[in-house]
Structure 1
């Protein structure tokens, strides 16, 4: 009986030792995996970038990559890409592992970007600032900025080529930008304000410096009067100071919504070149005087034409009497000439006069 009990105890001890051995091996394997496994992609810094996790900033400069880095850390709040070779921003280019990002600042200046495809910024619902300055945009989709519900500042300085300037209005008309506070479009050769309606935005600053704007129409001036909070920067534009500038002239003179009003200068006509628009005289832009002068000349021409027509009608209606009158005058002149001719013949030779006596 004792032998059997001992045998049973030996078997239990063996099982216990085997179980402990298995647990120790599993723990050892787990430790080895943790030590030698690669760092998680979600937290890794891209090889060509510099990361500062404390501030949440990832900076990637001067690379030959043609695409946005796909291994951006999930903790990134500010992403700066500069001097890259990104020609096209494709759909969802900034989504991290197919999920949305908490990024708030995105700077993409000096990257040679030529096209922005639809939904390019999908997955950035909390983005506050987007800088696309100093690129070479030829194509901007009407849905390029779709999904940027929290965007406050959009910079497109020195970025738009002529084909893109025609598409910009549709791209900016998206309802996604209804929280936009600052829009910068300096140095893009724009000829007008590229916003279909100003009242659909929450704009506080609109920068249109150094473009090709010659005039701002009465419709936009009316909108500017209604949106008291907005500030519009318009210096270094070739304004044509004529009658068409009247509404803008009075807005510039009576409103404080243009902080650089003193640098808004006339380009044409030559006599007013370099003169601040707000320093013009009212007569220089008074459409009423010009219209009245034009109307007066037209009216004078009409009156003279009517007088001429009446005169011709009088002549036509009295053509018979005028003809008789002319004939009478002709006969009277002929009789008078005959008398003068007879007297001349009598007085021309004195001898005939003596004979007659």
Structure 2
């Protein structure tokens, strides 16, 4: 049955059927869209001709014992290859030649014994590798080193007694590394702590044959305190052997009385230092361990291991002090110091968070904050001077007697308003002094003409006699605003 998304044209169908005829697939293989499944057919060899359009190949549950050179070459769209539950004990060099498009490879439940360096070198795009439930006793040092896109690697239920952790140290995409249910007796704690935190969070090490010691215990307790799921989800399955005795297995995350002498405090505290670029920086590895059998090791933020005597820029002394010559901004980060006492099987560690900043130039004569404050004060003084010390053109002139109307009196009303004391004369023609010392106003005028008050005849209206100059002065002061007594 042929299933394809969308509408398949007769030309596409005929081309695909032609590929199937040429492929000469074994009886029982099923193909749907770009998926070819030949499972549980007792196949001993991979078919020579495969459809070029295939993206997923499934050969699970067969009797494959060998994969020839270029078995899957010529399949540009191949993304997923499933070879689980077969009898593969090794991989021929060139097996995955011209198959850089593979993203998911399943080799679980086979008979693989050693993962050699050449097995996956050509799978540069590989993201998921399944190798669990084999008989693997060794993974060569560079077998996984070139897989920069690898995100998940499953090697549980094998016979590993060692693993090259340094080979995945620079793998920034790896988030899951399952080494559970193996035979690991000891863990290289200094290398594991040098891994990126994303790898440590997804590093599964439960159900191994670990020997109980402080370094191992401190590492797992540190992960538990950080809330790593690799420890939380399998807390009861983390066991170790007291004195290496298989019959003395201890769930060390639950029974902590066996590790009372182990120090956990160094993993919690972090010291912070700040240095100027170009300076000489000394980092002390403080420890409570005593004795002559101490071994010091530093791990830089770039995951570089530093041991005495160090290198050209990073020098290390026998007492554990790390010297950084001409420190630079890219030297910033967390430096981890580990102290090992092999005689007493004790371990301590210390983190130093270093921040390197560029040197500041000499301070300016005036601080920016004080300068801004001074500008604000000066601006405020100028505003107050403008509001309260604005000169009036009337104050600068000699005031003529009020009995003689003149143009100079046009500021008299304004002067009386601005002055805090009453005017010199208390009465005048048509004027009345208010009880309010700050305001002078006029009696209401009944007649107007052209928007200006018109003077009434003195005999008929003795109290409404207004000179023209006075009317003009009121109008000029109040700018034609109607005055209501």
Band of TM-score, shorter chain? 0.5 to 0.7
Aligned pair partner of 2:76 in 77, 83, 101? 101
Structure-to-structure mapping, 1:252-291, within 5 angstroms? 252-257=223-228, 258-259=230-231, 260-262=233-235, 263-269=237-243, 273-277=249-253, 280-281=256-257, 282-286=259-263
Note the 1:1-357 alignment, pairs <5 A.
Answer: 39-41=18-20, 44=23, 46-54=25-33, 56-95=34-73, 99-162=74-137, 165=138, 167-173=139-145, 175=146, 177-201=147-171, 202-224=173-195, 226-227=197-198, 230-257=201-228, 258-259=230-231, 260-262=233-235, 263-269=237-243, 273-277=249-253, 280-281=256-257, 282-286=259-263
Higher helix share: 1
1:217 Cα deviation (Å)? Answer: 1.9
Q: Secondary structure at the match of 1:197?
A: helix
Q: Deviations over 1:186-221 (max 9, x none)?
A: 011212334433223221111112111233222233
**Corresponding residue SS for 1:187:** coil
- Between the aligned partners of 1:228 and 1:194, the Cα distance in structure 2 is 14
CA contact (8 A) 2:71 2:95 kept: yes
Change (3 A) 1:218 1:127: same
Q: 3-state SS of the aligned residue for 1:79?
A: strand
Q: Is the Cα contact below 8 Å between 2:177 and 2:199 reproduced in 1?
A: no
Give, in whole Å, the separation in 2 of the partners of 1:75 and 1:237: 43
Tell me the secondary structure at the aligned position of residue 251 of structure 1. helix
CA distance in 1, matches of 2:27, 2:203: 39
Which consecutive unaligned segments of at least 5 residues does structure 2 have? 1-13, 265-286, 295-342, 344-485
For residues 257-301 of structure 1, the C-alpha deviation after alignment (integer angstroms, 9 at most, x for no partner) is 324351312332579733233652552435999976999xx9xxx
Question: TM-score scaled by structure 1?
Answer: 0.61
Q: Of the two structures, which has the highest relative contact order with CA contacts closer than 8 Å and spacing of 6 or more?
A: 1
Q: 1:50 to 1:100 in 2, by over 3 A?
A: closer
Q: How many residues align?
A: 251
Match of 1:325 in 2: none
CA drift at 1:103:
1.0
SS in structure 2 opposite 1:220? helix
Equivalent residue of 2:143, what SS? Answer: helix
CA-CA distance at 1:79 after TM superposition = 0.8
Asked if 2 retains the 8 angstrom alpha-carbon contact of 1:100 and 1:125, the reply is no
Q: How far does residue 60 in structure 1 lie from its aligned partner after superposition?
A: 1.2
**Contact 1:241–1:277 under 8 Å retained in 2:** no
**Aligned CA-pair RMSD:** 3.4
Question: Is the 1:236–1:264 contact (alpha carbons within 8 Å) kept by the matching residues of 2?
Answer: yes
| Inter-partner Cα distance in structure 2 for 1:294 and 1:40 | 70
In the aligned structure 2, how far is the partner of 1:49 from the partner of 1:72?
Answer: 15
Q: Distance in 2 between matches of 1:207 and 1:227?
A: 13
SS at match of 2:168: coil
The structure whose residues are more often strand, as a share, is 2
- Distance change in 2, residues 1:222/1:268 (3 Å): same
Report the 3-state secondary structure (helix = DSSP H, G, I; strand = E; otherwise coil) of the residue aligned with 2:71: coil
Q: Distance in 2 between matches of 1:206 and 1:191?
A: 16
Kept in 2: contact 1:245–1:285 (CA 8 A)? no
Do the aligned partners of 1:172 and 1:195 also contact (CA within 8 Å) in 2? no
Aligned counterparts of 1:129 and 1:253: Cα–Cα separation in 2: 31
- Tell me if the contact between 1:216 and 1:248 (Cα under 8 Å) persists in the aligned partners: no
